[in-house]
Structure 1
Amino acid sequence: MNPSPTIRKVFQGVASRAQMFRMFDRHHQRPNRWDGDATPLYAGEWFEIGEAEHDYMFEILPPLWIRGSMFAMREFLTGSVTSVFFALRIDEAIRHFHGYCELSDQASVGTMRVAIIERESRPVRAITREERLDHIWSSTADEYRGYAGERWPEALRGKRTVMLYGGKGGTLLKLLEDLNDDEIAAKLPVQLRHLHSPIAA
């Protein structure tokens, strides 16, 4: 069994149907797509969807299983990672979520459920640097994001890149993880730019 993956929110707000389908395989451009185990890329990722999208996915195929307000897709994405859909009561409202769970870990679904409720129950809205970067990656069109290739130093190859607009200087390709605060703010929708970062414990 693989160690438990990091549970991470990869999109801010409620994803539309088109956004949901895009994020189901948001790592499809990776250069080693058909090599190795992709479990660490996907397992633990989650985002919010609408009720209509949740119900649509329930009706596509018979679920692998249904447990209360959760169900798992019968088709696996990679290894033993599959989509799990949640209908969760948070602050007296029913909200809907998609997450990739590693089903070889029997605790993965319950752990993700608790993590989503905890993250979405924060009294003050906050967004970490990692969540900002993941939102940028999730919402950037394929033609403006990619992976560092042969032109990059060997140690950086395979890392995520995004295209930045440099004004008169034209466009610039930069590692996602190297974006500074101003570049991150410019890439985020206006409603997310001024949310504070939670202080690390």
Structure 2
Amino acid sequence: MNPVSPIRKIFQGVATRQDMFRLFDRHKQRPNRFEGDAAELYAGEWFEIGQAQCDYMLDLLPPLWIRGEMFAMREFLTGSLTSVFFTLNIDGRIRHFHGYCDLSDRSSPERMRSSIIKRESRPMKAMSREERLEHIWSSTHDNYRGYAGERWPERDRGKRMVLLYGGKVGTFLKLLDDLSDAEIAAKLPVQLRSLPDAIAA
């Protein structure tokens, strides 16, 4: 049985067309990119897009299927993992989303849909620590992020890292998961820094 990847929001706000294409393959720098199956990296990731982006993707190729307010792309990213696009009415507003669903599990798109609605129906905007870290990874340029290599302790190799500015110390690399609250705040856009913490995404 395949492990279930957690459903998670990876970008705060509405992704532009340029953002969308970057987010489609935000793990492209991973070590050994062309070896093994990357499904676990991508499965469960989702983010919001605009109507124009959703319409563009619908017109790009005939969809694999359309089910009410969602459609699946015919081209698979890897194995049974593909893009599913959602048009959802949340609190009286029509919004559009992209998510990676593993279609070997027929309930995957519906679970994704339910998770998006639950997450986006919160009465107050909030971000969990995990969402903050995912947004930092998603919005950091490829030149300023990467994966720990041979210079790092063996236990850390392959983990995600980002470039930080340390004042007099200059720039340095740090594991994404080890960022302090102050470092996270410094890496987030100004409008996201003051959002309250969410216990769970």
Same fold (TM over 0.5): yes
Query: Which residue matches 2:20?
Result: 20
2:86 match: secondary structure: strand
1:199 match: secondary structure: coil
Over the aligned positions, Cα root-mean-square deviation in angstroms equals: 0.8
Query: Which residue matches 2:193?
Result: 193
* Displacement of 1:199: 3.3
Query: Which residue matches 1:181?
Result: 181
1:89 match: secondary structure: strand
Distance in 1, matches of 2:30 and 2:174, equals: 16
Is this contact kept in 2: 1:4–1:108, CA < 8 A? no
1:104-133 residue CA offsets vs partner (Å, 9 max, x unmatched)? 011100000000000000001110000000
Q: Which aligned pairs between 1:53-68 and structure 2 lie closer than 5 A?
A: 53-68=53-68
Is this contact kept in 2: 1:43–1:81, CA < 8 A? yes
Alignment-mate amino acid for residue 182 of structure 2: D
Query: Which residue matches 1:122?
Result: 122
Identity fraction in percent: 73
TM-score (structure 2 length as normaliser): 0.98
TM-score (structure 1 length as normaliser): 0.98
Distance in 1, matches of 2:167 and 2:108, equals: 45
Query: Which residue matches 2:172?
Result: 172
Distance in 2, matches of 1:107 and 1:158, equals: 31
2:134 match: secondary structure: helix
Distance in 1, matches of 2:19 and 2:35, equals: 26
Deviating beyond 2 angstroms after TM superposition, the runs of 4 or more aligned structure 1 residues are: none
Gaps of 5+ in 1: none
1:122 match: secondary structure: coil
Once structures 1 and 2 are overlaid, which stretch shifts more, 191-200 or 22-31? 191-200
1:16-37 residue CA offsets vs partner (Å, 9 max, x unmatched)? 0000000000000001211222
